[in-house]
């Protein structure tokens, strides 16, 4: 079996927070705590969970926007966390990032041509005339026409702007695209079009995707494997069909049952009380236990006292129910 394209091991990403005056004490926000996963070459891995679960923090660490405090990020066997300056540049070129907001992520002062050729200039790729041809080819790849080359972001619709963002990420010919909720800001009909486009591009260019989302209905259409995150940790990791047909963690079951549907007589969603706790003050034991609708099945307050065992090849979820 070939080595994974992207391998993340025991990733920790913390932020120092101060509130109030300069004399206030410093607190630590633990955005990511011990996340591990592999992304196979040509595969699509979905990271899902509520807002505040740490999905985007993982994505930003992988792409090099944030430097983790501990852990390993390997791209095709190369450790990225120890590289600095120019040594990182050729490896970062192999990854592209598509942002959530298709308007804020584009410079309103730049035309589409300038937006698409900027990555080529930064990496010193192609001659100026060739860059323009590359920009035209990228527009065609994402379903836009040559006439769009000279337009500015405000002249595009939301779906068209996101297509420009995808084309920009493809400009230096990366192997991996990190997609940070790329359709959540779009209308439902446009979401479907962009998802079809991403599936086509993945096949056409042999890309691998790390797909960040909070909508399980979206990842079901595009991802091969799914990692469910809660409060900075992966609580379940499974192949797509296994996760949707046989979810193991109570949090995964709650997320799946809350997906909107039109089937009459289908069971109502499991109750999921409250909101995700603050990563500044995570609950002890299993961090999900204050909201878990199934915690009464575990005796002696074990969920509030003990941290569940980690995910292993023989254990796909971090839950005490798997041990009972």
Confidence of residue 323 (pLDDT cuts 50, 70, 90): confident
Please give the pLDDT value at position 279.
Answer: 87
Please give the pLDDT value at position 24.
Answer: 64
Does the predicted model carry a pTM greater than 0.75?
yes
Does 262 score more than 60 pLDDT? no
- Let me know if 68 is exposed, middle or buried by CB neighbors in 10 A (0-12, 13-18, 19+): buried
What domains appear along the chain, each with residue ranges and CATH number? 6-94+174-259+277-322 (3.40.50.300)
Give percent of the chain above pLDDT 90: 64
Alpha carbon distances (Å) from 73 to 11, 39, 68, 79: 8, 11, 9, 6
Please give the pLDDT value at position 31.
Answer: 92
- pLDDT tens digits, 157-170: 999 999 999 999 99
Q: DSSP H helical segments within 34-111, as ranges? A: 55-63, 89-92
Please give the pLDDT value at position 266.
Answer: 59
- pLDDT tens digits, 20-39: 666 667 788 899 999 999 99
Q: What is the mean pLDDT of residues 229-258?
A: 91
Determine contact, residues 261/277, Cβ cutoff 8 Å: no
Q: What is the mean pLDDT of residues 223-228?
A: 95
Q: Return the ∠ at Cα 269 (arms to 264 and 274), rounded to 5°.
A: 150
Distance (Å, whole) CA 180 – CA 255: 19
Q: Bigger pLDDT: 272 or 192?
A: 192
Q: Bigger pLDDT: 314 or 63?
A: 63
């Amino acid at each position: 079996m070939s080595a994974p394209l992207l391998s993340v091991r025991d990733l920790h990403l913390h932020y120092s927070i101060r509130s109030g005056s300069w004399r206030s004490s410093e607190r630590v926000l633990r955005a990511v705590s011990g996340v591990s996963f592999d992304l196979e070459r040509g595969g699509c891995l979905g990271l899902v969970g509520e807002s505040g679960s740490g999905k985007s923090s993982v994505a930003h660490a992988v792409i090099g926007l944030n430097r983790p405090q501990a852990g390993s990020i390997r791209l095709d066997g190369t450790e990225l966390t120890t590289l600095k300056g120019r040594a990182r540049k050729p490896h970062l070129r192999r990854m592209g990032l598509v942002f959530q907001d298709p308007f804020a992520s584009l410079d309103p002062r730049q035309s589409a041509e300038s937006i698409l050729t900027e990555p080529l200039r930064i990496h010193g790729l192609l001659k100026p005339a060739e860059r323009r041809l590359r920009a035209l080819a990228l527009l065609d790849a994402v379903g836009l026409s040559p006439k769009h080359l000279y337009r500015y972001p405000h002249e595009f619709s939301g779906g068209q702007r996101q297509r420009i963002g995808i084309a920009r990420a493809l400009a230096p010919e990366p192997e991996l695209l990190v997609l940070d909720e790329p359709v959540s800001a779009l209308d439902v009909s446009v979401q479907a079009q962009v998802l079809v486009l991403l599936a086509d591009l993945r096949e056409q260019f042999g890309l691998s995707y790390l797909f960040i989302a909070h909508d399980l209905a979206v990842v079901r259409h595009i991802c091969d494997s799914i990692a469910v995150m809660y409060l900075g940790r992966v609580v379940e990791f499974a192949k797509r069909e296994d996760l949707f047909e046989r979810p193991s963690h109570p949090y995964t079951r709650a997320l799946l049952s809350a997906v909107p549907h039109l089937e009459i007589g289908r069971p109502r969603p499991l109750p999921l009380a409250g909101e995700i706790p603050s990563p500044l003050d995570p609950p002890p034991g299993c961090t999900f236990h204050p909201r878990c609708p199934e915690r009464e099945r575990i005796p002696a307050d074990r969920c509030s006292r003990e941290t569940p065992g980690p995910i292993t090849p023989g254990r796909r979820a971090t839950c005490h129910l798997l041990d009972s």
